[in-house]
Amino acid sequence: QKEVEQDPGPLSVPEGAIVSLNCTYSNSAFQYFMWYRQYSRKGPELLMYTYSSGNKEDGRFTAQVDKSSKYISLFIRDSQPSDSATYLCAMSALIIQGAQKLVFGQGTRLTINP
Amino acid sequence: NAGVTQTPKFRILKIGQSMTLQCTQDMNHNYMYWYRQDPGMGLKLIYYSVGAGITDKGEVPNGYNVSRSTTEDFPLRLELAAPSQTSVYFCASSYSTGGGNTIYFGEGSWLTVV
């Protein structure tokens, strides 16, 4: 069983739609939960992170974590064509001397159609 | 502020050749990482470093070597390149033991082994 599972999609929705992206995980040692956005031929950029169960909102983006179910979600409201990218969930566990190990999901390729 | 800089951006290698991917960060981060990303997959940790002179293996270290002689630089060496090493390589750095908001990625190096 993979430590982190993410539906790879692809996902295509019309502009203005609400988008829901999801990941499940199996390792209870994960301490931080992140969503990265990756545009084509670019490095991942951190979109949101949280460390506790519940919701965290940032503009049109809401990250949700349910530690009891080992499930995280990212919601995008009023989606825009500029949101078209690959979204990667990532979980973080400390390794040695403070360095973090990030375990990524496979990524979901999202296209927002004008 | 350049952040994390990787060179080269693109490279084609023949089987059995060797090369070094360069990574430099100008943020005075202690922690540095190398990840690889295969098509449709999340990123996997190759090696990491917690400071100058200290490195350790990640999930997929076979076929690679690293060194960390300065805080700024963390080169990744590929010895005897194999087709399985065709991938996109990302260098990253972070400055604290905190959550994922501290990890910064470079723009990636696309490597093809033929």
Side-chain half-sphere CA neighbours of A79 within 13 A: 22
Token digits of residue B31: 């922690």
User: pLDDT for A60-93, tens place per residue?
Assistant: 999 999 999 999 999 999 999 999 999 999 988 7
pLDDT at residue A92, rounded to an integer: 84
Token digits of residue B5: 């800089």
- B111 in any annotated domain: no
Helix (H/G/I), strand (E/B), else coil: B101: helix
- A113 in any annotated domain: no
Q: Which residues of A touch B42 (CB under 8 A)?
A: 4, 6, 88, 90, 103-107
| Partner-chain residue, chosen from B45, B49, B99, that has the shortest CB–CB distance to A32 | B99
Q: How many domains does chain B have?
A: 1
Q: How many domains does chain A have?
A: 1
- B30 in any annotated domain: yes
Helix (H/G/I), strand (E/B), else coil: A36: strand
Residues 6+ away with beta carbon under 8 Å from A46 = A34, A35, A36, B100, B101, B103
- B107 in any annotated domain: no
User: Rounded to a whole number, what is the distance in Å from the CA of A63 to chain B's nearest CA?
Assistant: 14
CATH number at residue B85: 2.60.40.10
User: Rounded to a whole number, what is the distance in Å from the CA of A18 to chain B's nearest CA?
Assistant: 24
User: pLDDT for B56-80, tens place per residue?
Assistant: 999 899 999 999 999 999 999 999 9
User: pLDDT for A41-51, tens place per residue?
Assistant: 899 998 998 88
Q: Cα separation of B6 and B20, whole Å?
A: 11
Structural domain boundaries, residue B64: 4-102
Q: Cα separation of A11 and A94, whole Å?
A: 32
* Position A7 pLDDT exceeds 90: no
Q: Which candidate, A107, A92, A95, A113, places its Cα nearest to that of A36?
A: A107
- B22 in any annotated domain: yes
A 10 A CB-CB count for B75 gives: 17
Q: Which candidate, B109, B79, B85, B98, places its Cα nearest to that of B10?
A: B109
